[in-house]
Amino acid sequence: MRTRAPAAAVLLAALGLGATGCGAGGDPATVLDVHAAASLTGTFTELAEQFEAQHPGVEVSLSFAGSSTLVQQLTEGAPADVLATADERSMAGAVAAGLVDGEPEVFATNVLTVVVPAGNPAGVASFRELAEPGVQVVVCAPQVPCGAAGERVQEFSGVRLSPVSEEGSVTDVLGKVVSGQADAGLVYATDARSAGDAVEVVEVPQAAQAVTRSPVAALADSEEPELARQFTELVAGDRGREVLAGAGFGAP
């Protein structure tokens, strides 16, 4: 399995990803290119391993980034077989561009939460406190699903943030909090969970009003359409939902 990871390497170092580029007996592997939102890194890595085990001679090549970045890359001609985005808006852009084969299927949901570094040095106790002077907050850029969800949370809560930076993926936000470059960050609950003891969580009550729904689809220009279909079925099926639920994702 090959993985082209997002910038926040802190979340990926423990995964021990490797690549052989060959199938059984040293023959070249059939490669299935899967582009997925950065928030899906852990779950899609696990599902890709299961898919390879079920399909000897198939290598899943994973590319993770912000959903809007992935769609832009595909629009510009990047080859891929499967696309999974963190929200339906990004997938709608891929559909409008004629990139998708068939109807995308929503396979999971997610909500935002606030994370602070272990020990909570800034003493952040609520979402409203993120707007106080001197609190260094990092969020996703508005064009990224987690950024769009963050905008909705701010609208629902009546709290307007002044972030010190807007990142291109949720894992970049998390990375800045874990490394102590920010007092707090707005990330998905699943990313907060994956960080373990490196962060503490501050719940956001309004997050339930800004749920994101993640769809997956096979791509129209796939060179492996049957394998692409089978991978989407794995993601949206019982096994996929089991893996996703284990990581904290909600049911579609």
- Of the candidates 90, 3, 100, the one whose C-alpha atom is nearest the C-alpha of residue 44 is 3
pLDDT of 219-249, one tens digit each?
999 999 999 999 999 999 999 999 999 999 9
Residues in the annotated binding site: 39, 67, 170, 188
pLDDT bucket at 29, cuts 50 / 70 / 90 = confident
Residue 152 has pLDDT above 80, yes or no: yes
CA-to-CA dists, residue 74 to 82, 97, 227, angstroms: 11, 9, 19
Q: Return the pLDDT at 205.
A: 87
Residue numbers in the known binding site for molybdate are 39, 67, 170, 188
DSSP state at residue 22? B
At 13 the pLDDT is: 37
Summarize pLDDT for 169-186 with one digit per residue, the tens: 999 999 999 999 999 999
pTM: 0.84
105 three-state secondary structure: strand
Which residues are CB-neighbours of 20 under 8 A, at least 6 positions away?
29, 59
Say yes or no: do domains 30-107+212-245 and 111-207 share a fold. Answer: yes
Domain ranges in the chain are 30-107+212-245, 111-207
What superfamily in CATH does domain 111-207 come from?
Periplasmic binding protein-like II (3.40.190.10)
What's the mean pLDDT in 149-157? 95
The CATH classification number of 30-107+212-245 equals: 3.40.190.10
